[in-house]
């Protein structure tokens, strides 16, 4: 699978560890930065990640910052993205199964590397329920509303 990963300066170490782990798992990984711990603005990297997933260059995205909150907000500004902030594998799995999440966000200051790997594995291994042969369609109807809000 083609996966894009991006972070801010607070999550640079977790990003490197997850990138290397994903490559070991056989995935093609695009590391969108940053390259150092110099202070950066998380929206810049969230927008970049969202763009790469939205245009199909990457199938899934991984967004990281100190808490995961700010970068998930920036990713979700793109109407093609459904980025779920997760901290344990069940949330990561349900984000895929029920919400067809195409990106997950995690906080490097809140989630250890082993838990982050478990979340990422659950996210990548879970299929969207409506893409399964016995899908009822109820989830797709709701997912469609996420990209086309009637505000």
**Element containing residue 91 per DSSP (H, E):** helix 89-99
Is 139 known to be catalytic?
no
Question: CA 126 to CA 2: how far, in whole Å?
Answer: 16
Q: What pLDDT sits at residue 79?
A: 93
pLDDT value of residue 142 = 74
Query: Does the active-site annotation cover 65?
Result: yes
Tokens of 36: 């150092």
For residues 48 and 145, give the distance between their C-alpha atoms in angstroms, rounded to a whole number.
23
Catalytic: which of 65, 83, 103, 119? 65
pLDDT tens sequence for the chain (151 residues): 999 999 999 999 999 999 999 999 999 999 999 999 999 999 999 999 999 999 999 999 999 999 999 999 999 999 999 999 999 999 999 999 998 999 999 999 999 999 999 999 999 999 988 755 655 566 777 777 777 767 5
**Residue 105: its H or E element:** strand 103-107
Q: What is the pLDDT of residue 147?
A: 76
- Active-site residue identified among 9, 27, 83, 98: 98
What is the per-residue pLDDT for 129? 83
- How are the residues of the chain apportioned to helix, strand and coil, as percentages rounded to the nearest 5? 50, 15, 35
Residue 130 confidence (pLDDT): 74
């Amino acid at each position: 699978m083609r996966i894009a990963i991006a972070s801010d300066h607070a999550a640079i170490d977790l990003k490197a560890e997850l990138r290397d782990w994903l490559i070991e798992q056989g995935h093609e990984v695009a590391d969108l930065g940053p390259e150092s711990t110099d202070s950066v603005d998380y929206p810049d990297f969230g927008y970049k990640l969202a763009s790469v997933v939205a245009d199909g260059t990457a199938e899934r995205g991984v967004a990281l910052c100190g808490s995961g909150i700010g970068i998930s907000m920036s990713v979700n500004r793109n109407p093609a993205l459904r980025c779920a902030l997760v901290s344990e594998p069940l949330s990561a799995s349900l984000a895929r199964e029920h919400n067809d999440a195409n990106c997950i966000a995690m906080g490097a200051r809140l989630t250890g590397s082993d838990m982050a790997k478990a979340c990422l594995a659950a996210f990548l291994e879970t299929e969207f329920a409506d893409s399964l042969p016995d899908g009822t369609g109820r989830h797709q109807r709701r997912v469609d509303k996420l990209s086309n809000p009637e505000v």
